Each structure stands twice: as structure tokens, then as C-alpha cells.
Structure 1
Amino acid sequence: MQDIEVSIVIPTKNRVNSLKKTLESLFVQTYPANKYEIIVCDDNSSDNTEETVKELMRKTQHNLRYTKVISKIEGPAKVRNAGINQSSGKIIGFTDDDCIVSKDWIEIAVECFKKHKEACGVYGTVTTVGDCKNKKFSISRRVDVSKDNGSYVTPNVFYKKQVLLDVGLFDTDMRYMQDIELGWRIRKKGPIIFEQSLRVNHRILCASVKTYLKRLKRTEYWVLMYSKHPEHLKEDNLILGHLYNKSPIYVISIFFTFGLLLLRSKLIMLFIIATIGAYLWAHVFVDGSYKKYPTRLAMFPRYSVTDIIRFAYSLKASIKYGCLVLF
């Protein structure tokens, strides 16, 4: 392992078929095979992930490693941390088990670090592939990065190992958003460079309505992030300093409207108009895509339900963490 310069860490759980495709894309890299290793960190899968990876380890000439992580801590943070702690490279790359990386992925990342010696990290383009047209009653989740947007998402990011150790690795308090939160901490030590030619394709996630609504709980972790990094409240230009987007204004107007309706107030019509206006402002007239306006109007039930759930989660988290941020 003395020649290893780059370690690729892949967390996985019960996705053996897509994981195999991810590994295949890593087996054909233009970067010398003896200079990088691939560490599959299994979050206690119940499928045949372990058997499949170990079979690949016997067949491949690449430095493929496997570790099973058993922990009561939820989320991929502790799995990625296990991979970092077992890594041999000075550069750690992250991708997911539903991604396909470009053939020159590692090579471009290494060259970027050579070009920007002051950089603590490098991240690149993520393109969502596929659709959910053949799956009824499902909601698609996309992970697209096309510019330097400060997301630092783990489907496509590299960091210097020493920097990761210095900042304390991924925060295991973060069930979601741990990659963005890590990026915020690392950015305090030095720049994270966006390289557009660093490319990864990310398979679209088609979630059931139940799963989609459950994932709205991630809103709580956005509030937790802001409580850990209050300086971002100003940097991110939150509306009135506490509203992450326009949706809370729409939700608040709904509550006021129902309240006035119960009180049979004469102001009810005024607030109904205000609520309609808030919805149009938050979800319809968000850009100049006029052709999308009818669809956005028809999405009124879905947007309303999700807005109220997100608002409730963010309010709960704001009280819990003592940091008022409403979504």
C-alpha cells in the first residue's frame, strides 16, 4: 500500500447491483491502478453485498477493499468516517453506490490538486440520469451540480486526508446534509475548487410518496447546520434573517387564513387573496419559464402539503436547537 496516493471511499447499503456498476467505472480509470485504492464501506447490508464485493476482490487486479460497519448511529457519516480511518492515500475521493464516474475522474482530481496547491478540496459536475416515468405514484429526487454552488455533495468530491483529520471528519450528528456541513468546516481552512470537467453521473431516485414525505425530515438537519454555523445565516441572505425561502410566508398566510375563517372575520377575503399571492410568488412565478406555470398551478396540493410539513419540521428544530430558521 506504499504507492497508494488516492483512496476512494464508497458507502453502501443494500444496493449491490448499482454498486457493481460503480465499481466497474472505477476499474477502468486512466489513473495508474497501483496508485489508488477503493474502499467499500458496507452499512450492515442485508443483501449479498459482502459476498459480491469479496468475489470482485478475488478477481480484480485493483486495490479493492471491503469493510462492514455496524453501528447504532444512523446515516452515512459514520460509514464514510470508517473508510477515511482505514485509507492509505493522501487524497480521499468520495462517490456513492448509485453513481458512474468518468474514466479520467481520479486523474482530473489529482491534477487539480497539483494546479491549486492551496486547495483543501475539489468537487465537480453531477448529472442525474434516468427518469421515473415507468414508476407510478413515485417522486423523483435529482442530484445535479453544474456550477460552483457550495454543495460539496459526496457523489463527486475529493479532500486532502490531513484536512479531513484536522476538521474532525463527517459529523455523525448529521443524519442528512453531512457532506455540506463538512464542506462548510473545511472551507474555513482553505478553498474547495470546483472543476467542471470532473464528472459523475448519478442515478435518479424514484421514491414512493411515503418515502418522499419521510425524507422531508432532513429539514431539521438544515436548522442544525445553521445552529452549528450561525455565520451562514448572513452569508446565505435568508429572508428577514430567518426564512430560508418564500414557502414559510405562504404557510403562515395559510394559518392566518384558517384562523380568520374560524373567527368569521371580515378580513378573510383579504387573507385569501394574500395566500393565493404568496403561493404564486413562492411556487409559480419563480422564473421566466411561462410554459411551466400551468403545471406549477396544478401542483398546488403537493406543494401545500410539503410546505406545511417542512415548516413544522423546521419550527420544531428551531425550538430544539435555539436557532430560528424556517423552511
Structure 2
Amino acid sequence: MSSIKISVVIPTYNRPLLLQKCLHALAAQKLQKNSYEIIVVSDGPDVETRRLMDSWVKKRPSLNIRFFMLSHKKGPAAARNYGWLNARGELVAFTDDDCVPERTWLNAYLKSYTSGEKVAFTGQTVVPISSRPTDHELNTLGLQFADFITANCCCPKEVLELVGGYDERFTMAWREDSDLQFKLLNEGIEIVKIDHAQVIHPVRKASWGISIKDQKKTMFNALLYKKYPWMYRKKIQPRPPLNYYIMIGGFAIMVVGLAVNSAIAALSGFLIWGVFTMWFIKKRLHLTRLSVQHVSEMIVTSLAIPFLSIFWQIYGAIKYRVLFV
């Protein structure tokens, strides 16, 4: 009979330096080494991560650590499913490769759990940011206040089997955690907050204009809304992004006005688009870094975000066949 009480599942892909910090934190957990295991799942072929894991397995024989590699990229939801399905512990904890769990993280979950109990847990995720953060840092800070995130949660394996684990249609790191949360709530599974189950989630360095690239994730909002419309409106987005629609509408009126030589229409559209765009830029710059680089990034990306966000939202609505605005 296995002595493993809790399994940790970490999805990863081509981030060995970040993963190594996470592994060091897990190796230092205040638990007997034979009472927990670490399962790392690469979301596709990953030579550097395989080398790192081979080294860890060889140099730390007392640590229960296993490495799996998916045949091709499917997304973190699929990687997590592969991990928990191969877990030997009654409890399964999830964190990300860019996170650093505190030494008492797993202990906190184990002490809060009674064997056979149908329950789920979420811990406290701490996101350190600078005194004058960037927009990207503020967006990451939102993880600190989220109800339930896969960077720091824990479920009995039996409960994961009951709800079917993660929906692998969420092929990017977006909304798959909310989907699992809604599944649990839909099944009447209580989600208990364990504040002393703490994980540090540093803000990763981001490329200039990262917020433009991130808009593609919006398509998965449509999938989550299709599955749980009431919960989506209650916990994610109470109403459609009217400010985006107004900006796009104003821009369209301006273009049409210019096309038909209507100065009034063109000016009206320009004013609508300009006022709401300036408000959007000001909102994003509020309490954030006012360096030339960051201000220019906010201006440029704010011009593009409404159009890209709504494009991907419509794309998701068509793809998942749901009326989602």
C-alpha cells in the first residue's frame, strides 16, 4: 500500500529555470519525503525540461518525483489531467511551474482534510509587485484575489474523478481554473479557503505589448459562458464590455462619415471613439508606472485592445456556438 498522502501536479513547457525554483520549494516541504510525490507534466516535447527532470530524479533518490511528456501540445488543462490521473495520493494539489510554494504548503492542505471527505481547497496566492507597477503586474496581481486558481488548489482524487477533471477544450492558460471551480460548485462540492496554504507567484517578465497577445484568450470566455452562463455573469463578468463596443462603434461611425463625406458623422464618431479611448488609457495608467516606455505601451495597446478583444470574443461565440456578447 502506498504511503503517499498527497500528490503535486505541475504542468510545464520550455521553462526549466522557472520550474527548477518550484521544484526546490517542493523538495523543502515540511513533510516526510515518502508521504508526498511531485508529478511534472510537459505539455509537449521538451528536451531541456527532460534533462532537468532526469537530473532531479538521479540526484534526489529520496524524493518521489515523476516526469511525463505529452506527445504534442494540448494545453495546461490536458497536462494537469494527465498528472492527476497518474497520481498515487488521495489528495492532489496543483501549482504552476512559475510558482514557489511555502514550506508548509502541503502540510496545510493535509491538516485540513479528513479522509474520504468530498471537498476542495484553495490556498492563498501572494503576488509581489513593485510600488509603481506596470499594467502587466497589476493584471497578475488579480490572481492574489481570485476565488479559485490552479496555481494553488487541492482536491481529493475521488472528487476530480467525480467532476471529470479539467476540460481540455481550454487549450490556453485561461478560464480552465474557473471551469473546474464551477464544476465543483455545480456538484455541490464545498470549496474551502486555507489561508496558510501559501504560494508565491512572482510576476514573469513580459515582452512589450503582451496585453495585445493576451486578447486571444478571450475566446475561452465564450466556452465558459456556454457551460455556466449564470455563474459566469455572477463571478467573472456581470455585463458585456460596453466600453469596447462604444469605442468600436464610434470608430465605425467615423470611418463611414469619412467614406460618405459627412463631416458631422466623422466628427461625432471621432469624438465618441477619442473620449472613450482616452478614458481607457487613463484608467490603465492609474497608479501604474509612468515611464516613457510604459506610457507608450499603454497608448498603443489601448488603441488595439477593444478591437482584438471583441474579435476573439465573436470568434469564440462562433466556435462554441453560443450567443455571447
TM range (shorter): 0.7 to 0.9
Write out per-residue CA displacement over residues 124-169 of structure 1, whole angstroms, 9 at most, x where no aligned residue: 22315689x9xxxx9767354333x33x222211112111111111
- Taking the aligned partners of 1:204 and 1:169, their CA distance within structure 2 comes to 27
Residue 78, structure 1, aligned to residue 49, structure 2: no
**Equivalent residue, structure 1, for 2:273:** 275
SS at match of 2:113: helix
Corresponding residue for 2:95?
95
Query: What corresponds to 1:261 in structure 2?
Result: 258
* 8 A contact 2:94–2:153 mirrored in 1: yes
Gaps of 5+ in 1: none
Distance 1:81 1:155, change over 3 A: same
SS in 1 for 2:3: coil
Partner-residue secondary structure (3-state), 2:205: strand
Partner in structure 2 of residue 159 of structure 1? 155
TM-aligned CA deviation for residue 25 of structure 1: 0.5
Aligned residue for 1:173? 169
Where do residues 1-327 of structure 1 align in structure 2 (5 Å cutoff)? Answer: 2-60=2-60, 61-71=62-72, 74-114=74-114, 119-128=119-128, 142=140, 144-147=142-145, 149-150=146-147, 152-176=148-172, 177=174, 178-189=176-187, 190-209=189-208, 213-236=212-235, 238=237, 241=239, 243-244=240-241, 246-265=243-262, 266-285=264-283, 289=287, 299-326=298-325
2:43, 2:74 within 8 Å by CA — same for their partners in 1? no
Partner Cα separation in structure 1 for residue 269 and residue 158 of structure 2: 55
CA deviation digits over 1:42-83, x for unaligned, max 9?
Answer: 223433322321222232212111222214x52112211111
Q: CA deviation at 1:29?
A: 0.8
* 1:255 shift after superposition: 2.0
The answer to whether the 8 A contact 1:284-1:297 is kept is no
CA separation of 1:44 and 1:234: change in aligned 2, threshold 3 A? closer
Contact 1:284 1:296 survives alignment (8 Å): no
- The structure-2 alpha-carbon separation of the partners of 1:246 and 1:160, relative to structure 1 and needing over 3 Å to count, comes to farther
TM-score (ref. length: structure 1): 0.83
Residue 125 of structure 1 contacts residue 195 of structure 1 at CA under 8 Å; is this kept in 2? Answer: no
Task: Describe the SS at the equivalent of 2:122.
Answer: strand
Displacement, 1:96? 1.4
Quickly say closer, same or farther: Cα 1:109–1:316, change in 2 above 3 A: same
Kindly provide the amino acid, as one letter, of the partner of residue 245 in structure 2. P
1:7-38 CA-partner distances (Å, limit 9, x unpaired) = 00011222222212211100111133221111
Cα gap change, 1:179 to 1:112, in 2 (>3 Å): same
**Over aligned residues, Cα RMSD in angstroms?**
3.3
Contact 1:126–1:144 (CA under 8 A) maintained in structure 2: no
Q: Secondary structure of the residue that 1:311 maps to in structure 2?
A: helix
What SS does the aligned partner of 2:58 have? helix
CA distance in 1, matches of 2:288, 2:82: 48
Distance 1:221 1:63, change over 3 A: same
CA separation of 1:113/1:254 partners in 2, compared to 1, >3 Å: closer, same or farther?
Answer: farther
1:180/1:236 CA distance change after superposition, 3 Å: closer
Distance 2:11 2:289 in 1: 40
Displacement after TM superposition at 1:180 (Å): 2.0
Q: 2: CA distance between counterparts of 1:236 and 1:258?
A: 36
Say which SS state the counterpart of residue 47 (structure 2) adopts: coil
CA contact (8 A) 2:45 2:71 kept: no
Q: Unaligned 5+ residue runs, structure 2?
A: none
User: 117-126 vs 90-99, which deviates more?
Assistant: 117-126
Moved more, 207-216 or 55-64: 207-216
Check 1:165–1:260 CA distance in 2 against 1; reply closer, same or farther (3 A cut): same
Determine helix, strand or coil for the equivalent of 2:144: coil
C-alpha deviations, 1:215-268, integer Å up to 9, x for none? Answer: 3211111111111222235424856x5x14633332232222222232233233
From the superposition, tell whether residues 18 and 45 of structure 1 become closer, same or farther in structure 2 (CA, over 3 Å): farther
Q: Kindly, what percent of the aligned residue pairs are identical?
A: 23
